[in-house]
Amino acid sequence: MRALTINAETHVIKVHAVDTSGVGPGMLAFMQKAVGGYIERATELKNGDSIFVNEEGLLENPRFFFEVEGGHQPFAGNGVVVGGEDEDGETTNAKSEVEELKRLITFKTNEELAT
């Protein structure tokens, strides 16, 4: 399955092919590792993709954040972009491209948000 990660510290957005065949750890484990904890859906992009973040990210004294154009708040830590859900409730491939996300995302530090 195609997913993208957003690294708030290094400002790198990267495409990943995640094995969802049932043999490996799967999508949930990939997403939890990428955000460093339990996941929660943070926002939906106009193309139907969803961004997930660490649900306890704000409780962990975060230093790095990212904002999504049109979003309701900055998100603490890293993010994962996946597609929407199909008719069976399964996550689909992300449609977003790296360059598209670079135009939509602004990276911030804790200090920048405080000003």
Number of residues that this document lists for the chain:
115
The residue written with tokens 């954040």 in the block is 65
pTM beyond 0.85, yes or no: yes
Percent of the chain with pLDDT over 90: 70
Token pair listed for 112: 């920048």
Taking only the tens place, the pLDDT of each residue in 43-72 is 999 999 999 999 998 888 899 999 999 888
Sorted by where each begins, the domain ranges of the chain are: 2-114
Mean pLDDT of all residues belonging to the chain: 91
Report how far apart, in Å, the C-alpha atoms of 64 and of each of 38, 60, 61 are.
18, 11, 9
The residue written with tokens 């998100």 in the block is 75
Around 73, how many Cα atoms within 13 Å sit in the side-chain half-sphere? 6
Taking only the tens place, the pLDDT of each residue in 64-94 is 999 999 888 999 999 999 998 888 888 899 9
